[in-house]
Copies of this chain bind each other. A is one copy, B any other.
């Protein structure tokens, strides 16, 4: 059973939003309960809540809280308030596409309740937020079901970054089949890359897997190739931030390093993502824009300087793994093995499943 990173608790429209403050993990496990949209926005901005799907869910519930706070009773005023709250939440993490999709959905739901008064709009927006959260959970579950066919009892998995319950509203993408296999008693063992510079692997993935009772070993990113060469790893499972039509996959920096080593040592490399991650408009990896941003975490850590003052830093947030290094792409629609060209969900008519 994976942790619940976000949850609506209490009585219907009188409820509260509860989420884990991920900035304090793994040292402290703090569940925050809030009734204020502003606090949700602040939590997204400060990375207490992170992971594109999770941000979308948090924002949708944030709208519920924001509209509920409206003092008046007139229908138009409620919808204006919803609009304001949506705009505030949209400004928290301007690049997360799930955020905009979720906000658009709750805005439309609110509009549909026009004339039903404040409580009517709140009820409708809450229903939509709950629906988004439920769909996310279902999507993770289906990815987990589909991916289960790739795992065998006793398998030793390597993963990178966090593609688990802490990034989604459900049991994750790359970690979904791991949780599923764990529930089946497969005795899966997971090696987790610490994932510099922000350490989502050692801070978040290791923690959530341990909460679920999965056997976890943390290693530095540079040690993964050696673990593979030493035959300690049977498969590599990662998530994805964007997948091009040909299967080229953008994911957290360090993913490509794991993929090149996996290929060299004959270890399968699997990508897990909802089909919404596939961008049919982008032909191949060259078209995926890669953010590069100097990160303080590379030059100092916990206030201690770890690189010289004034040194240049190469700090891409993501890298692109060529489709030729990927053994299968798993979405909620199933497991797709190469060739991916024209066969990924949403990319052409000739869809295939292995």
Interface residues of A (CB under 8 A from B): 26-27, 160, 191, 193-197, 199, 202-203, 206-207, 210, 215-227, 229, 232, 253-257, 260-261, 263-264, 298-299, 301-316, 319-320
A254 touches B223 (CB 8 A): yes
Q: Of B197, B215, B223, which one neighbours A253 at CB under 8 angstroms?
A: B223
- Tell me the bound Cα distance from A224 to B194 in angstroms: 16
Question: By DSSP majority rule, is chain A's interface helix, strand, loop, or mixed?
Answer: mixed
Q: How far is the CA of A313 from the CA of B232 in the complex (A)?
A: 13
Residue contact B254 to A264, C-beta cutoff 8 Å:
no
Contact (Cβ within 8 A) A206 B308 = yes
Contacts of A319 in B (CB 8 A): 223, 225-226, 229
Of the candidates B225, B256, B315, which one forms a contact with A219 in the assembled complex, judged by CB atoms under 8 Å apart?
B315
Can you offer 19 A-B residue contacts whose CB atoms are under 8 A? A26-B305, A26-B308, A26-B309, A193-B222, A194-B298, A197-B220, A206-B307, A206-B308, A206-B311, A210-B308, A216-B308, A217-B312, A218-B299, A222-B253, A223-B254, A224-B257, A226-B253, A226-B257, A256-B261
A202/B260 in contact, CB under 8 A? no
Copies per complex of this chain? 2
| Further pairs besides A215-B312, A216-B311, A221-B221: 8, Cβ < 8 Å | A210-B311, A219-B315, A223-B314, A225-B319, A226-B256, A226-B319, A257-B261, A260-B260
Is A316 touching B193 in the complex (CB atoms < 8 A)?
A: no
A17 to chain B, nearest CB (A): 25
Q: How far is the CA of A239 from the CA of B302 in the complex (A)?
A: 30
Which residues of B have CB within 8 Å of A310?
Answer: 210
Chain B residue nearest in CB terms to A265 = B260
Q: Beyond A194-B307, A307-B26, is A298–B226 a contact (Cβ under 8 Å)? A: no
Residues on B with beta carbons closer than 8 Å to the beta carbon of A219:
298, 313-315
Residues of B within 8 A of A305 (CB): 26-27
CB nearest neighbor in B for A302 = B302
